[in-house]
Amino acid sequence: MMARAALSLSSIPGGDDITRVELANGIVVLVRENPNSLSVTLRGYLPAGSLFDPDDKLGLADFVADALMRGTAKRQFQAIYDSLESIGASFGFSAGTHTAGFGGKSLAEDLPLLLDILNEGLRAPLFPTDQVEKLRAQLLTGLALRTQDTRDMASLYFDQLVYRQHPYARAEDGYPETIGAITIDDLRGFHRKTYGPRGMLVAVVGGINAFTAVEQVRAALEDWTNPDQPALPELPDWEALPARAYKRHDIPGKSQSDLIVGTAGPPRLSPDFMAASLGNNILGRFGLMGRVGDSVREKAGLAYYAYSSLAGGSGPGAWEVAAGVNPANEQKAIDLIFQELQRFTDDLVSEEELNDSKSNYIGSMPLSLESNGGVADALMNIERYQLGLDFYRQYPSLVQAVTREEIRAAAAKHLPVNKLAVSVAGPPRAEA
């Protein structure tokens, strides 16, 4: 209809516009300026995730991260949030399996405040008793709601079926009895032992000057040390399921069942990850949720949602298909999903499907990098997996290189249909 600027790689972050600095204590700082932006996004992580949780204190890493802003040597809980909320800023900590993460945003001139809050939370949390107990009540309420959530419960049991003895079987947010068992000494001990600068990343993106931002991070954090900071525990190998596994969990009074079919997928750095990722797009994402969406939702009308996902990540995160269905249609939906998985692992995807997914991946990249947050996430990916600063500029050629045969090989290797787990949570059958 009219000529418009074609996409150019200049808007994609790369080695010439990402500033990467390693501080003396090991903290890596990545900064990208966005002169069009009035605000700044600060994100990052350090290796203090739930892999460090003792079995009887599951949820400890999560509890610690949540408690870091409940009072520090410099400010009480209300003063911390008053300083943030007064200027329309946000900031928070959370914990995952491998890392504890942090993130927030503010108007660009308020970056020093975000760094102050980060610094205080990391280095001087007090874990005051009254605040810890408030937080405990909130965590326990979250767990009570989880027991009533069909999606959450299907996912919890799916992880147990797939990962068994592997640490990924454990719930990062714990259980009521483990959250109840955590003491203030546990919180302090976990923080003292695992929090430190080694393996930490700070990403800053927005309407700031890169040099100034690096110096601000340096001033806040370069003198932090923790000589006893341990390396992340080694992940044991994951062993494939010997056969298909099934679990159904009843939650009385519910209207819909949620189900998950799948198993462990390739880690982000596995050589076949890109093939698996493009394959997953064909299986359960492209268009209105790929082949699975087409079969379960569009053709059979069985579900409001049906899609697949591939976690990637540092370890063998899940590769799974999920759907929400009327309880009477559970088995029908599971059968359709297995049909699609069988086809996906046996047959080559079509040339057209592969080309479609490739152009989807390449074309959608600028959209995912539109916001400061999107760029910050990209910077974290680059560092976490050592992808190289030009990764997003090379991305189109990496995508183009994947073949149909590689996708089938990745599917057959990671999604053996006779060794998958099926987890369902929904109303008891008599109620449905």
Partner 1 sequence: MDVLKTTLSNGLNVLLKEIHTTPIISHWLWVRVGSRDEPTGLTGASHWVEHMQFKGTPLFPAGRLDKDISRDGGFWNAMTYIDWTAYFSTMPADKIDLPMRLEADRLVHSNFDPQEVAAERTVIISERQGNENNPMFLLDQDVQSAAFEKHPYKHEVIGDMADLQSMSREDLYNHYKRFYIPNNAVLAMAGDFDSQLMLDSVRQLYEAIPAGPAPARVAAEEPAPQEERRVVTRGPGETIFVKAAYRSVRATHPDFSALTVADSLLAGPSNLNMFSGGISNKTSRLYRHLVDRDLAVAVSGGLQATIDPFLYDITIVVHPERKADEGIAALDEEIARLQDKAPKAEELARAVKQAQALFAYGSESITNQAFWLGFAEIFDRYAWFETYLARLAAVTPQDVQRVAQTYLRAERRVLGVYQPDGRPAGDDA
- Window 74-103: residues binding partner 1 (CB under 8 A): 77-78, 81-82, 84-90, 92
Site string for partner 1, 12-41 (x = CB under 8 A): ------------------------xxxx--
Asked if 171 is part of the footprint of partner 1 (rule: CB under 8 A), the reply reads no
Asked if 252 is part of the footprint of partner 1 (rule: CB under 8 A), the reply reads yes
Q: How far is the CB of 130 from partner 1 (least distance, A)?
A: 9
Asked if 247 is part of the footprint of partner 1 (rule: CB under 8 A), the reply reads yes
- 């001990």: which residue's tokens? 189
180, 56 contact by CB (below 8 A): no
- 């799916």: which residue's tokens? 158
Asked if 280 is part of the footprint of partner 1 (rule: CB under 8 A), the reply reads no
- 């802003």: which residue's tokens? 69
Site string for partner 1, 194-223 (x = CB under 8 A): ------------------------------
**Long-range contacts, stretch 313-316, CB < 8 angstroms, 24+ apart:** 313/97, 313/98, 313/267, 313/268, 314/97, 314/98, 314/235, 314/267, 314/268, 314/384, 315/97, 315/98, 315/168, 315/235, 315/238, 315/267, 316/166, 316/168, 316/238, 316/264, 316/265, 316/266, 316/267
Q: Please tell me the count of residues contacting partner 1 according to CB under 8 A.
A: 81
Among 17, 149, 215, 222, binds partner 1 (CB under 8 A): 149
Asked if 141 is part of the footprint of partner 1 (rule: CB under 8 A), the reply reads yes
Residue from 186, 96, 99 nearest 136 by CA: 186
- Token representation of residue 56: 């009887």
Q: How far is the CB of 401 from partner 1 (least distance, A)?
A: 18
Residue from 59, 55, 57, 150 nearest 96 by CA: 59
Asked if 147 is part of the footprint of partner 1 (rule: CB under 8 A), the reply reads yes
Q: Please, which residue, 225 or 368, has the CB nearer to partner 1?
A: 368
Asked if 331 is part of the footprint of partner 1 (rule: CB under 8 A), the reply reads no
Among 225, 304, 335, 400, binds partner 1 (CB under 8 A): 304
Report the 10 Å Cβ neighbour count for 219.
Answer: 12
Residue from 295, 299, 302, 400 nearest 344 by CA: 295
Q: How far is the CB of 234 from partner 1 (least distance, A)?
A: 33
Among 4, 73, 165, 271, binds partner 1 (CB under 8 A): 4
Asked if 362 is part of the footprint of partner 1 (rule: CB under 8 A), the reply reads yes
Distance in Å from the first CA to the final CA of the chain: 53
Among 324, 383, 411, 417, binds partner 1 (CB under 8 A): 324
Among 74, 134, 164, 244, binds partner 1 (CB under 8 A): 134
Which residues, numbered 254-273, are part of the site for partner 1 (CB under 8 A)?
254-256
Residues 6 or more apart whose Cβ sits within 8 Å of residue 5: none
